[in-house]
Amino acid sequence: MTPGARNNNPLISVVIPNWNGKKFLPACLDSLKRQSYPNLDVIVVDNGSTDGSVQYLKENYPGFVKIVELQENHGFDRAVNEGIKVSKGAYIATLNNDTETHEDWIRELAKGFDHGDRVGMCASKILFYFNRDIIDKTGHVMYLDGLNKGRGAMQKDNGKFEVCEEVFFPDGCAALYKRELFDEVGLFDERFFAYGDDAELGFRARLFGWKCVYMPSAVVYHIHSGTTSPYSKLKVFLVERNRFWLALKLFPLPFLLATPFYTALRFYWHSYSAFFQKGSAGRFRKEFSSVELVLVLMKSYLSGLKGLPYILGKRREILRKKAVNNRQIKEWFSRFGISAKDIALID
């Protein structure tokens, strides 16, 4: 029986990475205390915070939170992986520290596993913390060069996304996974550090035959890029480098060979976005110059090329074991894809 079953409540571990997020912790952890699901194991993995986060946790949440202390900031992926390693739950939720969960979040999210044995990921309805009728993400969509976007991002929560349905993969901000999925496909790729990591894990899990279900009744409120600026140079660098790595690591050869064309098309729309100050590139241009944007992109590809030996080694290992064919992968992009124009112009 699954966690959604009425008379069975197996342990669910909630892993929260934290880096200098002391100001976010009360809302996040207090909302977890109010969860209607009765069997939770809450783990905060601290990435070498210098704002007193660890002491605050020890003083205010003794017995409720298990603390894993890392000595420096290793990023989202290493932190989550360390949390998974010490967790005891049969199911593992990942949760950003800059969130507040609805009291029925875990209970409703876990019901997604009732939709089939190969459902190994469940996606939340994530709304903006300060504007709670606007959607942050309801699962993810992906462009044909490996860049991903939140499904329904920036749309009004007016009933359009109220159907429980299959989506590509969940956002790591507020997701639930079966432990056996990690046992089969591996943990988050720590080389990614942050951004695109949930996409890489989700795509990799799908190659092994796992699926994801979106649960609209599982609601989380997210400050969105509370730890880093939403349009910082670091974010642009990581998003583009990790997109490059995802495609090289996981795309079958016919899809991989087509990515330069799709990336060129996307860059055309990003240029349009930057010129007219629309979309993500336009937002970046309000703070930085076009030259700075180009330099960041060049830096991201140089870093991506340095990681080629590792990425190509993983590619051989993963694609040798994949349980789906290219026709099925093409269907994913048809069902869960996004156009170059939309991915560039939607914030």
Question: What's the pLDDT band for 230 if we cut at 50, 70, 90?
Answer: low
Q: How confident is the model at residue 273 (pLDDT cuts 50, 70, 90)?
A: confident
Residue 99's pLDDT is 98
Q: Residue 287 has which token pair? A: 């703070």
Instruction: Report how far residue 28's alpha carbon sits from residue 23's, in angstroms, rounded to the nearest whole number.
Output: 10
pLDDT digits (tens, 9 = 90+) for 158-175: 999 999 999 999 999 999
Structure tokens at 67: 């603390």
Strand 119-128 relative to strand 211-222: parallel, antiparallel, unpaired? parallel
Residue 231 is predicted with a pLDDT of: 65
Query: In this predicted structure, what is the pLDDT of residue 6?
Result: 42
CA atoms within 13 A on the CB side of 267: 12
pLDDT at residue 42 is higher than 60: yes
* pLDDT at residue 302, rounded to an integer: 98
pLDDT digits (tens, 9 = 90+) for 53-82: 999 999 999 999 999 999 999 999 999 999
- Provide the pLDDT for residue 1: 42
Q: How far apart are CA 62 and CA 252, in angstroms?
A: 48
Contacts of 33 (CB under 8 A, 6+ apart): 64
Residue 13 corresponds to which amino acid? S
Residue 195 has pLDDT above 60, yes or no: yes
Could you tell me the residue ranges of all domains in the chain? Answer: 233-345
- Lookup result for tokens 């003083």: 59
pLDDT value for 5: 45
Enclosing H/E stretch for 67: strand 65-70
Q: What is the CA radius of gyration of the chain?
A: 19
Mean pLDDT of the residues in the chain:
93
Strand bridging mode 135-137 / 119-128: antiparallel
User: Is the pLDDT score of 305 beyond 70?
Assistant: yes
Query: What pLDDT is attached to residue 3?
Result: 61
Which one, of 176, 168, 36, lies nearest residue 110 by Cα?
Answer: 176
Q: Is the pLDDT of residue 129 over 50?
A: yes
Mean pLDDT of 191-211: 97
Determine what percent of the chain is predicted with pLDDT higher than 70: 92
Q: Residue 226 to residues 24, 135, 150, 232, 302: CA-CA distances in angstroms?
A: 9, 16, 17, 12, 28
Mean pLDDT of 275-285: 66
Determine which of 29-33, 148-152, 203-207, 283-287 has the lowest per-residue pLDDT on average.
Answer: 283-287
The pLDDT of residue 4 is 47
282 pLDDT above the threshold of 90: no
- Backbone φ, ψ for residue 23 (5° rounding): -65, -20
Percent of the chain clearing pLDDT 90 (strictly above): 86
